[in-house]
Amino acid sequence: MAVLAGRLARRWCFGLLRSPTQVPALGLHAGSPTMGTSQKDFNDAVSQVKLLNEDPGNEVKLELYALYKQATEGPCNVPKPGMLDFINKTKWDAWNALGSLSKEAARQKYVDLVSSLSTSSESPSPEAPAADRKPPEGNSLVVTSEDGITTIRLNRPTKKNALTTQMYHDIVAALQAASKDESTITVLTGSGDYYCSGNDLTNFTHLSAGGPEEMARSGEVLLRDFVDCLIDFPKPLVAVVNGPAVGISVTILGLFDVVYATDRATFHTPFSHLGQSPEGCSSYTFPKIMGSSKAAEMLLFGKKLTAQEACARGLVTEVFPDGTFQKEVWARLKAYSKLPPNAMRISKQIIRNQEKEKLHAVNAEESSILRERWLSDECMNAIASFLSRKAKL
Ligand SMILES: CCCCCC/C=C/C(=O)SCCNC(=O)CCNC(=O)[C@H](O)C(C)(C)COP(=O)(O)OP(=O)(O)OC[C@H]1O[C@@H](n2cnc3c(N)ncnc32)[C@H](O)[C@@H]1OP(=O)(O)O
C-alpha cells in the first residue's frame, strides 16, 4: 500500500503543487506543539520547508506530509477517503503506512529529511542541457490555416498528446470555426512521436464538488458533444496519423473521410483493460468497416494493429514510409484542397447523410453507457493502476 501511495503521488497527486511554498496546502500547518527534545528542531524544520529553493518533488512532499501528520497527530485513525477521492486517499495511505511509528521518531525523521533537502538546495546544480529539459506545456492545441487546409494539431508531445478536458472543448471550437472558414479541407494531426494517447487519464482525478457522479455526468455530455461535432462536420475531414494512436483517437477515425498513416503508427483501443467501453461511434463504424469479428478483436480484446493491418481492415486509407510521410501527405492534401469546395461538401453530405441519424443515436448510447462504466470499480481500479504506473498498456 505504501508503495502504491508513493507511486500515485509521484505520478499525479501533487501535480497541483508546483511550488514548495505550497506544501502547507497538504495540511502542513505549524499546529499544536509537540513534546520532546526535538520540538524546536521540528518547528524550525516546518518553517524551513517553506523556504526551500527547489521543489523537492511530489514523492518527498508526500513523505513530508505523512511524517508531519504522524509527528503532530500520531498514528492515522481518521476514516479512509473514498476510492475516487484520489488525492486525499493517497495522502491517507502515506500517513497510514507509517503505522505505529512514535511521534518523536516521526519528528526526528521529518527533521532529518528537511535537513537533507536544505543541504541539497544550497548547492544548486548547473542548469540542465537543453536536450534534457522538457519543453513547457504551452498551447495544447494549435490551429493553423494555409493553402486551403485548416490543421488542428494536438500539441502535448510530452504527454503523447493525451486529450485533456480543455482540449475536447478546444477541438469542438476549432471544428466549428473550420466548418465556416475559407478552407476546403480540415486535418487533425499530432506533434512529436505520437498521434494521440487517447483520453488523458488524469481527467478522472479532477473531481468537482458534485463528486464522481458529477464528473461522469459532465464527461458524458462532453463526449457526446465532441463526437456529435465530428458526425456533423460538413467538409472533408482528414486524419494525418503521425505515430501511435490510442483509445478515442482511434475510435473516431471511423468518422473521418480519409486516414493517412505513417508506417510507424499503431492503432489500439484498450477499453476492456480500462474497464471502459467503446465510444466515438466505433461500436457501429468498426463492424461496418472491418467486419464484426475483427472489430471485436480490437474493441473487446484491445488488439493493437500495425498501420498495415489497419489499412488492410479499411480503417486507414493509405500507409506511407515514415521518412517521407509528411512530405508526401501534405503534397497530396495541397492538391486535393484545390478541388471545388462545394462539390466536395455536397459529395460528403450524400455519403454521410444516409447514416447521420444512426450515428447520433449510437453516440448517445455509447456516451450514456460510458457514464456508468466510469463509476465502476473495474474502471476506477484500472485508472488508479495506470496512474500508479503498475500497468503500461
Ligand atoms: C470527455 C471524456 C471522453 C473520454 C472518452 C473515453 C476515452 C477513452 C480512451 O481514450 S481510452 C485510452 C486512454 N489512454 C491510455 O490508456 C493510454 C495510457 N498511456 C500509456 O499506456 C502509455 O503512456 C503510452 C503507451 C501511450 C506511451 O508509453 P511510453 O512511450 O512509455 O511513454 P510514457 O508512458 O512515459 O508517457 C509519457 C508521458 O505521457 C503521459 N501519458 C501518456 N498517455 C497518457 C494518458 N492517456 N493520460 C495521461 N497521461 C498520459 C505519461 O503518464 C507520461 O507522463 P510523465 O512524463 O511520466 O509525467
**pLDDT at 222 > cutoff 80:** yes
In the DSSP assignment, the letter for residue 12 is I
Digit-coded pLDDT (tens) for 187-216: 999 999 999 999 999 998 888 888 889 999
Is residue 98 very low, low, confident or very high in pLDDT (cuts 50, 70, 90)? very high
> 345: helix, coil or strand?
helix
Atom of ligand 1 nearest to the CA of 198: 10
The predicted structure's pLDDT at residue 45: 86
Do residues 52 and 64 lie in contact, with contact meaning Cβ atoms separated by under 8 Å? no
Residue of minimum CA distance from atom 37 in ligand 1:
159
More confident residue, 168 or 9: 168
R_g of the chain computed on alpha carbons = 25
**CB-defined site of ligand 1, < 6 Å:** 158-160, 162, 168, 197-202, 219, 222-223, 246-248, 270, 274, 276, 279, 386, 392-393
**pLDDT at 132 > cutoff 70:** no
The predicted structure's pLDDT at residue 59: 66
| Complex ipTM value | 0.99
The predicted structure's pLDDT at residue 81: 80
Task: Please name the amino acid found at residue 26.
Answer: L
Is residue 18 very low, low, confident or very high in pLDDT (cuts 50, 70, 90)? very low
What is the mean pLDDT of the segment spanning 104-132?
A: 64
Beta-carbon count within 10 A of 60 CB: 21
Residue of minimum CA distance from atom 48 in ligand 1:
200
The predicted structure's pLDDT at residue 306: 98
What is the grid cell recorded at 42?
Answer: 521540528
What is the grid cell recorded at 1?
Answer: 500500500
The predicted structure's pLDDT at residue 94: 83
What is the mean pLDDT of the segment spanning 100-114?
A: 89
Q: What is the largest CA-CA distance in the chain?
A: 84
The predicted structure's pLDDT at residue 40: 85
CA distances (Å), 18 to each of 54, 61, 170, 392, in order?
10, 11, 25, 26
**Which range scores top for mean pLDDT: 21-25, 37-41, 378-382, 387-391?**
378-382
**pLDDT at 33 > cutoff 50:** no
The predicted structure's pLDDT at residue 15: 35
**pLDDT at 302 > cutoff 60:** yes
Q: Which of 35, 29, 30, 56 is nearest to 114 (CA)?
A: 56
In the DSSP assignment, the letter for residue 16 is T
Q: Which of 144, 148, 153 is nearest to 184 (CA)?
A: 148
Tell me the best of 86, 197, 363 to mutate to test the pocket of ligand 1, counting ligand atoms within 8 Å of each CB and taking the most: 197
What is the mean pLDDT of the segment spanning 375-387?
A: 91
The predicted structure's pLDDT at residue 374: 95
Q: Say what percent of the chain tops pLDDT 90.
A: 64
Q: Say what percent of the chain tops pLDDT 70.
A: 82
